[in-house]
Chain A
Amino acid sequence: MGAFELICPAGTLASLKAAVDAGADSVYCGFRDETNARNFPGLNFSRAEMRQGVEYAHARGKKVFLAANTYAAAGRFAPWKAAVDDAAAIGLDAVILADIGVLDYAAGRHDGLGLHLSVQASASNPDAIRFYQEAFGIRRVVLPRVLTTADIARLNQEVSIETEVFVFGGMCPMAEGRCALSSYVTGLSPNSQGVCSPAEHVRYEERGTQMVSRLGGYTINVFEKDEPAGYPTLCKGRFVARGKTSYLFEEPTSLNAIGMLPELKAAGVVALKIEGRQRGRAYIQQVVSAHRAAIDAFGAGRAIASDRLGAVTEGGRETTGAYTKAWR
């Protein structure tokens, strides 16, 4: 491990291997059900695949974390219990959780299993983080993407556990784990069913040279010919307000904080996370190797190459997100 621990996504066994081979220190992935926040058709791991993935990573000295970070359904706790129990049985290095019921279950049943607090818990202040630490013994918190680097530095002075932040990938502009936009339109929630804008509710249509994206029967965006597109989520939809059509919440864009490693290090961040379990293994290979090279260059005091990832960004655009939000 270098200056930071590099945490990489994997939606399939092939992606997990690609991430390990490209220089991940740890890989995070989920089981093929509603227990994780990327419950997409054909994605994620069976128990047998997870076992193979853990063997592959451990044989190379790398770690695997299970994301079981959706909120459990009241009265139907079995899938979340099974996810935690199987993670422990398979030998995953940690579980990433958000639901206090699931955290309580994992803390009570599996002593040696590392607990990380998911970004979905949206714990963004010392009081909240201390609560999870005291109640469940979490050893790491993944910080929500709403904090500036100065906020992170202040927070790290007040908490005694490790902090992990997102460095690259898709953005959720709303409070994480709380967004109800997709639920409102499709009846399915990213926070409980594990999928924002589920594929079965998304349709694309051609209107002359334009491409229309529809979610749950509503038109949420119209792209002109060759105009860069984004994910079909409501937060990145274009709406008419006061007679003007525009992106009201967020434009299609990807976080890219690869150039901010010095600031993140100074703020006390331990681990950097790449978003994108739903992406193909070509993305994993490219993004992970660029970050490995950047972290190694930073560790060795060399310049960081930060201009290699434009082709894989949403809408062809990059942002440093809240880390440098001037209006705050």
Chain B
Amino acid sequence: MMDDDPRAEPERDDRILETMAARLALLLAWPLPPALLQPPLDLVMAILKRRHPGAFERLTELPEAEIVVDPVDMPMAFRLRLGGGEMRLSVCRRDDIGEPAALVRGNFAVLLDLMEGRTDGDALFFSRELTVIGDTSPVVALRNAVDGEDIDMLADIAAMLGPFGRLVRPARGAASRARSSLVGLHDLLLGPALRRVEGVERRLTRLEGH
């Protein structure tokens, strides 16, 4: 749908809500020990495997590689191990990224849109909203595999939850009404935390500069 299409408005509201909800959930979960964070990430992989076996198979068939996905507006990064017959997603600190085969960096909303095929990776790369560092081969394969599927994380999670999942749809429908209050809630809850993260990053950048 084109940006100037008035029908895009409710869909945009839904999207902003979903992105904020995902971001909120991750930020609230972030202080938890990694052992507690791993089960939900394993669940995400299980959902992908069950709902998108084609994409999953294509990714596990690749040569083994590690890609770090780094949402610049979040305090954490994600480590994705592909190939060699399996796929594993874990979360890591930005200062513990190590030397992955490739690093993909962008805003959280951009990365989420990319995963769901809502935006074009090449266009983001041309405009520098998306940065790729290192070996492009696993990144291109990952992008093509996820783009080739109709991935809709919220719908996928809803389907996995069975009867509880039915709650997700009405929640989506109410998105435009909920949006303005959520923006306020989001800023209220996360504003101070994000400012702290940004402050630390600014200090680190200054230190690196010396």
Q: Chain A: residues with CB nearer than 8 A to chain B?
A: 11-15, 40-43, 198-200, 202-206, 211, 223, 225-232, 252, 278-283, 285-286, 289-290, 308, 311-316
B174 within 8 A of A: no
Nearest CB in chain A to that of B128: its residue:
A226
Whether A203 contacts B134 by the Cβ 8 Å rule is yes
Query: B106 near A: Cβ within 8 Å?
Result: no
Cβ–Cβ contact B140 & A40, under 8 A? yes
B148 adjacent to A13 (CB under 8 Å): yes
Are B119 and A313 neighbours in the complex by a CB distance under 8 Å? no
In the complex, residue of chain A having the shortest beta-carbon distance to the beta carbon of B123: A312
In B80-127, the 8 Å CB interface with A consists of 114, 117-123, 125-127
User: Can you give 12 A-B contacts (C-beta < 8 A)?
Assistant: A12-B147, A12-B148, A41-B62, A43-B140, A199-B139, A204-B136, A232-B136, A278-B122, A279-B120, A280-B121, A314-B126, A315-B126
Q: 4 tightest CB-CB pairs across the interface, nearest first?
A: A12-B148, A42-B144, A42-B141, A283-B120
Cα distance, A12 to B144, chains bound together (Å):
8
Which residue of chain A has its CB nearest to the CB of B142?
A42
125-173 of chain B: CB within 8 A of chain A:
125-128, 131-145, 147-150
Question: From residue B104, how far is it (CB to closest CB) to chain A in Å?
Answer: 10
A41 close to B141 (CB less than 8 A): yes
Across the interface, do B127 and A311 meet the contact criterion of CB distance under 8 Å? yes
A-B pair count, CB < 8 Å, reads 115
Q: How many residues of B contact A (CB 8 A)?
A: 37
Residues in chain A near residue B121, CB distance under 8 A: 280
Contact B2 A14 (CB under 8 A): no
User: Closest A-chain residue to B58, C-beta based?
Assistant: A42
Interface string of B179-209 (1 = CB under 8 A from A): 0000000000000000000000000000000
**B122 neighbours in A (Cβ, 8 Å):** 231, 278-280, 283, 312, 314
Chain A proximity of B134: nearest CB distance (Å): 6
Closest to A223 in B: B128
Contacting pair A200 B2 (CB below 8 A): no
Taking CB atoms, residues of chain A closer than 8 Å to B141 are 41-42, 199
